[in-house]
Amino acid sequence: MPHAALEEGRTAVITGGASGIGLATATRLAERGLNVCIADVDGEALGRATQSLAERSPRGAAAILGVETDVAAIESVAALRDAVLAAFGEVALLMNNAGTGGGGRPFENREGWQKVLGVNLWGVLNGLQIFTQGMIDQGTPCAIVNTGSKQGITNPPGDAAYNASKAAIKSLTEGLAHDLRGIVGCRVSAHLLIPGFTHTGMMKRFLKEKPPGAWLPEQVADHLLAGLDRGDFYVLCPDNDVTPEIDHRRIAWAAGDLIENRPALSRWHPKYAAAFEAFMARPRD
């Protein structure tokens, strides 16, 4: 059964909605007959995406809204909420999806860190603080999706700022789910989207052509909606190279660093290369 927040005529709000996973999800929802509001900091891309969604919606432009939004600024997110409520009267799905990368290592690029944390973490937190109570007060089935990343779980070297922001989103969303289920009469569910290797706009800056191993944003959107329909909290996406079994083992190894007191990020430590390879290759239990 579809999640009741995704029924025809209800309203979805998606930040970072002018491209990538956000736009792919918005398109799927528009095709289902939902009202869809996309928010993005890129006004030109927002205009193109809004027009595309109107063409895909069975109800046309009347069901689509684009709002230029800086998710790192809480007053901008508040203006987004006001615009959505004025247009459609409710919010059934909030997808805090806007994201950026490029912060770098912990001891450098302070401005990069501020940007990444401002968009990736504070953008999510601003969305929660502005929208959640109103969604609870509606008394209707609703869903909140926060876009995390496998990098916030297995923490691969390369962009510590991005990893830290996505690790924080995981923790934040887990806390949100716990708090929501403790509120009497609350009908809002929380979900953590964990994409795999996906050829999004962020990725296209480095890889113009889609690598064979990467998923398309539309595949992530379909996986997300199927997960919501099942009621999953963790919506962990595979890709064309990484199976669920590989993901599970990598996550288990990362947790084992703490349990076994191995060196941090031992998966990439030369002394543990053989042990990690053997762990990944062992027969399934």
What residues are labeled active site?
162
Instruction: Tell me which DSSP letter residue 6 carries.
Output: G
Give the helix ranges, DSSP H, for the chain.
Answer: 20-31, 43-56, 74-88, 110-116, 122-138, 151-154, 160-181, 201-204, 217-230, 244-260, 273-281
Q: How, if at all, do strands 64-68 and 93-96 pair? A: unpaired
CA dist., res. 37 & res. 29, Å (int): 10
Q: What is the DSSP string of 171-209?
A: HHHHHHHHHHHTSTT--EEEEEEE--SB--HHHHTT-SS
CB 217 within 8 A of CB 198: yes
Residue 235 φ then ψ, to 5°: -105, 90
CA dist., res. 180 & res. 137, Å (int): 12
CA-angle at 11, arms to 5 and 14, nearest 5°:
95
